Amino acid sequence: MAKIIVPVVTVFDRTGKPDREGNQKVADYLIANHVDGILVLGSAGEFTELTATEKQRFLSDYADHVAGRTALYAGTGDINFQQTLALSNSVYAMGYRAPLIVGPYYYGTNQAQLLAYFDALAQSLKGDMYIYNYPARTGCSIAADTLRELVTRDPNIVGLKDTVSEPGHTNQICRAMEGRPFAVYSGYDDQFLYNLAVGGSGSIGGLANVVPDIWSDLIRSANANDMARTVALARLLSRLMPIYEQRCSSSILFKKLMIHRGLAISPQSIFPFDGPDDGAFETMRGLLDQVLADYRQLGSATA
């Protein structure tokens, strides 16, 4: 069954700290729109601004508010291995299904180092984990052979988010994982159909912050084998991909567009990505409005 897991934005107050009420509004909004899960403190969640203590408090508060209403996953990657390990091990007791952990960044890594890093993590964790493959941010993409060796050693590595510009990499990962209970999610929303075609499990896509209604409709249609509606909805999502291509932060655009859709939250983003968007919001608001109008024209799945 295909799923959409939302790499949720973090709502900040004017001091740059998480706004509890604002984040609760976002969680309720996503749950009301029937998403399959929420990834807290992923890339869209601007996790780099928070200290280890702030991350732990935020993750705990988030889980308390959600209270089992949807599946939760925690972004726990940090440039410091011990902090990554400690935060990852703490989230199981909070109610998270698993941590999703990005590979080492800044210094650059090779396949042998990735193998050693994720192997050490997996062997020290109290539960399952997901790997976050994001070569545009880490400088290294995990190879299918490396992943197969990891999962052979560490069966608690149960899935991967593949945020790659070349979706053929996802195909290689899925081929390497054939016959294993392993979930592969696309990181880019417009790779969803390809992800399913090669044996993946769906998407962990940022556009679900803005259009969780379209995304959950797409998941229902795909799982019901309604090909015509699935393709039509995927096409609508693909039209929104320019949101990622603007020169400002996609997270701040997500939040501004969510406000446009009626959520009373702050658009505050982390410094230095909190500056003017050079008109990107106005352009993307027009694009969103047209997509939503076309979605309404498409009608409900039961019409």
What pLDDT, on the 0 to 100 scale, is given for residue 19?
Answer: 97
Residue of 132, 134, 185, 188 marked catalytic: 132
What pLDDT, on the 0 to 100 scale, is given for residue 301?
Answer: 65
Q: Read off the pLDDT of residues 90-144 as tens digits, 9 standing for 90 and up.
A: 999 999 999 999 999 988 899 999 999 999 999 999 999 999 999 999 999 999 9
Q: Please say if 17 is a catalytic residue.
A: no
Residue of 73, 96, 161, 188 marked catalytic: 161
What pLDDT, on the 0 to 100 scale, is given for residue 299?
Answer: 87
Q: Please say if 256 is a catalytic residue.
A: no
Taking the model in full, what pTM does it have? 0.97
pLDDT of the chain along its 303 residues, tens only? Answer: 999 999 999 999 999 999 999 999 999 999 999 999 999 999 999 999 899 999 999 999 999 999 999 999 999 999 999 999 999 999 999 999 999 999 999 888 999 999 999 999 999 999 999 999 999 999 999 999 999 999 999 999 999 999 999 999 999 999 999 999 999 999 999 999 999 999 999 999 999 999 999 999 999 999 999 999 999 999 999 999 999 999 888 999 999 999 999 999 999 999 888 888 889 999 999 999 999 999 999 987 653
- DSSP letter string over the chain? --EEEEE----B-TTSSB-HHHHHHHHHHHHHTT-SEEEETSGGGTGGGS-HHHHHHHHHHHHHHHTTSSEEEEE---SSHHHHHHHHHHHHHHT-SEEEEEPP-SS---HHHHHHHHHHHHHH-SS-EEEEE-HHHHS-PPPHHHHHHHHHH-TTEEEEEE--S-THHHHHHHHHTTTS--EEEESSGGGHHHHHHTT--EE--GGGGT-HHHHHHHHHHHHTT-HHHHHHHHHHHHHTGGGGGSSS-HHHHHHHHHHHTT--------TTTTS--TTHHHHHHHHHHHHHHHHHHH--TT-
